[in-house]
A = this chain, B = another copy of it.
Amino acid sequence: MSENLIGIDIGGTKLAVVLAKRTGEVLRKRRAPTRAELGPESVLQTLFALVQELMQGVQWRDIAAFGVSCGGPLDSDSGVIYSPPNLPGWDAIPLKQRVEEAFGRPAWVENDANAGALAEWKFGAGRGLKNVIYMTMGTGIGGGLVLDGQLYRGTNDLAGELGHQTLLVDGPECGCGKRGCLESLCSGPAIARRAGAALEGGHRSSLEDDVSGDPSRITAEAVFSAARRGDRLCREIVDETGEYLGWGIGNVLNIINPELVAIGTIAVHGWDLLEPPTRASLRRHAWPRALEAAQVLPSQLGDSIGDLAAIAIALAHLR
């Protein structure tokens, strides 16, 4: 049995390829900018060259399979990518087939949130659990669901869009075209926008100096930094973020009753500040027995979840 796997992570700004053992131990890693503007053929050629570089001195017989993590929408059965927002021109690209043809090894493709759920379940806080949710919290809010020990994709690969539950029916516009989605309140850009609106509304904050008075330079990171050093407005913005987050996750606990919700990027870096308001809100919105059954934590894989996500896809299929 070939012991090693190759993971491919296709992001809007960077490509990463990883050679790893089935245990999740990363042996080698290569990266390159995606340069998505050059179109899918160019990106695929860069990707294939990265894989060749990764394989220098490694035998192909030691490679069991590829896992490929990519932004959706995509069809996980056929491995075809359908125009993800971050990959312009990737319209019906048969990614699974292209990788298999190029390297003669089986390949499986999943969207990045599903891949994150598999990684958290195989290698992170979800090891040995049956019902694991991974929630992305960065530019957007999405999610992947492992239920009864299997990735649950839904009817057309859309399950887990936790960020697009409506919380505030007249809330802010969301990138998806709806209003008041969890994502429109708690994503990185949403946090920055709420802080910017407060400054423009005349609130005082040391954040103003941090961004040299230019609200367009506010980021969620800047809001968390200012909150961490005691800035009152930024503390309020973070507290409000936790309230919405606990509300959204509380709804999910009541509907899905998981053992674990592991939250990505923003929670990984800001849990010290986010945890208290999130927990208070969870206690208001989740049923006590559903809350008792569930750990709610930042992803235990931190920022390395991307490396393991693609590996976990291959592992889930080989099992």
Nearest CB in chain B: distance from A172 CB, A:
15
Cβ–Cβ contact A290 & B161, under 8 A = yes
- Assuming the A-B contacts A131-B155, A156-B289, A285-B166, are A255 and B256 also in contact, with contact meaning beta carbons closer than 8 angstroms in the complex? yes
Within A150-189, the residues touching B (CB, 8 Å) are: 150, 152-162, 164-167, 169, 176, 178
> Are the C-beta atoms of B158 and A257 separated by less than 8 Å?
yes
B247–A155 touching, CB < 8 Å: no
Residue of B with least CB distance to A73:
B289
A164 touches B252 (CB 8 A): no
A255 near B165: Cβ-Cβ < 8 Å: yes
Q: Determine whether A284 belongs to the interface, using a CB cutoff of 8 Å to chain B.
A: yes
Knowing A166-B251, A285-B178, the reply to whether A257 touches B290 (Cβ < 8 A) is no
Residues of chain B with a CB closer than 8 A to A155's CB: 130-131, 257-259, 293-294
Report the separation of the CA atoms of residues A119 and B310 in the bound assembly, to the nearest whole angstrom.
38
Query: Which residues of B have CB within 8 Å of A161?
Result: 254-255, 257, 287, 290
Any B CB within 8 A of the CB of A250: yes
Within 8 A of B (CB), among A114-163: 130-131, 143, 147-148, 150, 152-162
Residues from chain B with a CB closer than 8 A to the CB of A176 are: 287
Measured in the bound complex, the distance between the Cα atoms of B257 and A255 in whole Å is 13
Most B C-beta atoms less than 10 A away, residue of A147, A155, A160, A293:
A155
User: Could you list 12 A-B pairs, sorted by A, with CB under 8 Å?
Assistant: A147-B148, A154-B258, A154-B290, A156-B293, A158-B257, A161-B255, A162-B254, A162-B255, A176-B287, A178-B284, A178-B285, A255-B256
Point out residues on A near B: beta carbons under 8 Å. 73, 130-131, 143, 147-148, 150, 152-162, 164-167, 169, 176, 178, 247, 250-252, 254-259, 284-285, 287, 289-290, 293-294
Other contacts beyond A154-B257, A156-B290: 8, CB < 8 A = A130-B155, A154-B258, A154-B290, A156-B293, A159-B256, A162-B254, A165-B255, A255-B256
